[in-house]
Amino acid sequence: MAQDYRENLFLALDTLRAHKLRSFLTVLGVVMAVAVIMLVAALLAGFDQTVTEAITGYGADTAFISRFDFGPRVGQRPKEERERKPLTLEDGEAIMEQCPAVKQATVWIVWWEQPHKVRYKDSEVIGIEFRGAFPNFPEVYANATMKQGRFFTQAENLHREKVVVIGEDVSDALFPNLEAVGKELLIDGSSFLVIGVFEKPKGGFGGNDEDKRVVIPYYTFRKVYPAAYEQNIRIQAEKDKLDLAVDQARDVLRRRRNVAYDKPDSFSIQTSQQAVEQFHAIVGMIALVMVVLASIGLLIGGVGVMNIMLVSVTERTREIGVRKAIGARRRDVVWQFLLEAMTLTGIGGIIGMLLAGGIVILVRAATEMKATVPLWAVLAGLTVSLSIGLIFGVWPAMKAARLDPVDALRYE
């Protein structure tokens, strides 16, 4: 039995070698479809790992509180969200005082009414992540590690000192060949002394781990931007008490904001785990769409394989008659053509995998995205390509096996 399969496989390879160009054009659809499936799997896997690291980098025991709902949105926020009361410093202080499961909470303030920029001599960075924060900001944020210098103190915050801590990318852009600490820069025209530089956080969205953070003391921010009102809170829970801390913070905020018991929250709380799960749901939808599109390509490729195999049966009618006349059974003929179709699509799948692998290598070399081809994608690509040959090769194989040997020998 094994010898029969081996003989049929060699016959299939001989046929493919005899018609190289036709074979390649036949499986081009399979090549492209498998390459797309594997490339999407590799990019999504790398993107997922990168973003998951970025999200969890904020701290597994922390939760973020905002007056707006989290997650992707299209267009303007709903009216109900826009009309919610902003969070306040007093909200953060109440959470710290009334929530035993909360280890500490930090509040920061932003001003979205104008784009912010920092300048040092002729160098300028626009689109910074600018905020006013409290001295415990680095303690609550796991990814706020200092690379150089220090973070500001409570005394500097209370005295509204004009000191600033900047992200590594901002430092590299403004001070490419200089030590940033000790230099004075301009933020929206106001002079600030650089006292520290954040270390670039791990990960990043889409492989882009830009660290454009610019942080000044909370009360300094309020002094420079007296109209600023948009504040956010991040809480750090006691060990293994994150869910309890979230529940306690929610209860405090609902009472402070006078939310009726039968009404939904007028704010939103999200943990790192919830953010990761939400992102996974989005990635899953994208993957599903791409698989459907690639499946259409596989279907077209399979029809092409079936068409060329039917042509091959017609061209080799006399050969089939000779084989059956000297004792070949129906199943021998069936497996000859099935193996030929599977070999054809299997080689196409391997070419597609090599093509996808090459593109992934180029992506990793050109960007910082951690694109990688998962093992399941390799196995799935090979299985799918072989299955296309098996499924679409059945009809031509059965047609060849049912040929009458006498009529086949007479075929011209």
The full set of domain ranges for the chain reads 2-54+278-410, 61-268
The model's pTM is: 0.64
Q: Mean pLDDT, to the nearest integer, of 158-171?
A: 93
Instruction: Tell me how far apart the alpha carbons of residues 305 and 302 are, in angstroms, rounded to a whole number.
Output: 5
pLDDT tens profile 72-96: 665 677 777 778 888 999 999 999 9
Q: Residue 340 burial (CB < 10 Å; 0-12/13-18/19+)?
A: buried
Q: Mean pLDDT of all residues in the chain? A: 81
3-state helix, strand, coil in the chain (%, to 5): 55, 15, 30
Name the range with the highest mean pLDDT among 45-59, 107-121, 396-410. 107-121
Residues 6+ apart with CB under 8 A from 388: 30, 298, 301, 302, 305, 345
Of 118-122, 207-211, 249-253, 279-283, minimum mean pLDDT range: 207-211
Q: Label the pairing between strands 129-133 and 213-217.
A: parallel
Q: Which residue has the higher pLDDT, 144 or 158?
A: 158
Is 320 in contact with 408 (CB distance < 8 Å)? Answer: yes
pLDDT at residue 210 above 70?
no
Is 385 in contact with 352 (CB distance < 8 Å)? Answer: yes
C-alpha angle 387-393-394 in degrees, rounded to nearest 5: 100
**For the CA atoms of 211, 217, 220, 221, what is the dihedral angle to 10 degrees?**
40
Instruction: Tell me how far apart the alpha carbons of residues 341 and 328 are, in angstroms, rounded to a whole number.
Output: 19
Residue type, 81: E
pLDDT band, residue 315 (cuts 50/70/90):
confident
C-alpha angle 153-156-162 in degrees, rounded to nearest 5: 125
Q: Which residue has the higher pLDDT, 403 or 198?
A: 198
From the list 170, 233, 234, the residue with the least C-alpha distance to 200 is: 170
pLDDT band, residue 408 (cuts 50/70/90):
low
Name the range with the highest mean pLDDT among 4-8, 57-61, 223-227. 223-227
From the list 374, 298, 387, 347, the residue with the least C-alpha distance to 40 is: 374
pLDDT at residue 151 above 60?
yes
Residue type, 220: T
What local confidence, expressed as pLDDT, does residue 157 receive?
Answer: 94
pLDDT at residue 352 above 60?
yes
pLDDT tens profile 57-72: 666 688 889 888 876 6
